[in-house]
Structure formats: C-alpha cells, structure tokens
Copies of this chain bind each other. A is one copy, B any other.
C-alpha cells in the first residue's frame, strides 16, 4: 500500500470528476458519496482529499464543468437566421441541454453552499461566462435602446426562459412533453420581443 504513483495528481483529479459526474448522471446528486467515488476510481477516500478540499469543493468543480459544457453547447447556435428567431433558437437549445443533462443541470441550481462558505471567484467567472454571454447575444438583437436597458431586458427574458425550464422539467420527459415546453418558451419570448420592439418604435 501507499506510494503507487500510477497516476499524477492531475490524472486523479480528472478521474474523480469523471466518476462524480457519472454517479450524478445515473443516480442524482444525493447518490454522490466519497466512498463510492473512491471505489469507482480504485483509490481510497483519503486520496480524494489530496486533490479536493472537501465534498463542497468537489461539487463546485462538477458544477463548473457543467457550466463549461452548457456554454460550449449554446455556442453551436446557427447565426444564419433572422435576429428574433435566434433568441428562440438559443432558448430551445437551453431547454434541450437542460433536458438531456437534467441531473447535472438541475444540480447547478439545487446545490447551495453553506452560509459561511463564499462562492469561489473562478466559479462566479464561469457563471458569468455562461449567462452573460447569453445576455450579450440577446443584447445584439436589440433595437435602439440604451445599453443598460438592453442588458436588463436580456436578463429578464433569459430568466423567464430559465423559469419555464425549471418549473416544467423533471427527470426525463418524452418528446411530446418537451414540445409543449418549447411552445411555452416561444410564447414567452415572441410576445416579449413583439411588445419590446413596439415600445422601442414608439420611442423614436
């Protein structure tokens, strides 16, 4: 025992994160235990505390990964359509990601760190990267509003899309059910934009 050096610390860290993700995808966040991760990667519990401070730290890193994946997924949007349709497409992609990766996605919002623990800066950056990027994309599509107002509108409509997702989605829905949610998202986004553009025009 001890001093195996079969894997570098970086490799072990990667193995742990991969194992944790697998467990969450299969059985949800509640099924994530140190001993199970240890078993899955062929090390003992102590090893996990070599590369992560504690469980909360490990979970934050899994959440960070999911945010990265979400960002990458949303970047694959197709820019060869009318502006107002792009928002709908982006919103649909968000729904698709949330549905396909439900246990990982919902974990981002379910898990709250205890009051004394501050949100790590690197994590907050990832949140910003994922969501502010969305807001920027939406803001590009805006008519001649003032910058801060555009930002608010983007944030409002995007929160709205997220609200529909979080209240509608459960573990794994059928295609028909997803289509219903898609229609609700379109309802919200299209009517909002229609009302918004209308106000813009009457201002000029």
Residues of chain A whose beta carbon lies under 8 Å from any beta carbon of chain B: 27-28, 30, 106, 109-110, 112, 114-115, 152-153, 155-157, 159-164, 166-168, 171, 183-185, 187-188, 190-196, 198-199
> Which residues of chain B are within 8 angstroms of A168 by Cβ–Cβ distance?
159
B residues less than 8 Å from A106 (CB atoms): 112
A163 to chain B, nearest CB (A): 2
Please indicate the chain B residues that have their CB under 8 angstroms from the CB of A159 in the complex: 160, 163-164, 166-168, 184, 188
Secondary structure type dominating chain A contacts: helix
Which listed residue (B163, B184, B198) contacts A152, Cβ 8 A?
B184
Q: Are B152 and A115 in contact (CB under 8 A)?
A: no
What residues of chain B lie closer than 8 Å to A196, measured between beta carbons?
191, 195
Chain B: CB-nearest residue to A114: B30
A187 cross-chain contacts in B, Cβ below 8 A: 152-153, 156
Q: Is there an interface contact between A188 and B192, defined as CB atoms closer than 8 Å?
A: yes
Q: List B contacts of A198 (CB < 8 A).
A: 194-195, 198
Minimum distance in angstroms from A70 CB to a CB of chain B: 14
CA distance A156 to B168 in the complex (A): 10
Q: Is the CB of B156 within 8 A of A188?
A: yes
Q: Which residues of B contact A193 (CB under 8 A)?
A: 195
Beta-carbon nearest neighbor of A198 in chain B: B194
CB neighbours (8 Å) of A183 from chain B are: 152
User: In the complex the two chains form, what is the Cα distance from A193 to B110 in whole Å?
Assistant: 31
Q: Give, as a whole number of angstroms, the nearest-CB distance from A30 to chain B.
A: 6
Given contacts A115-B171, A195-B190, contact A164 B160 (CB under 8 A): yes
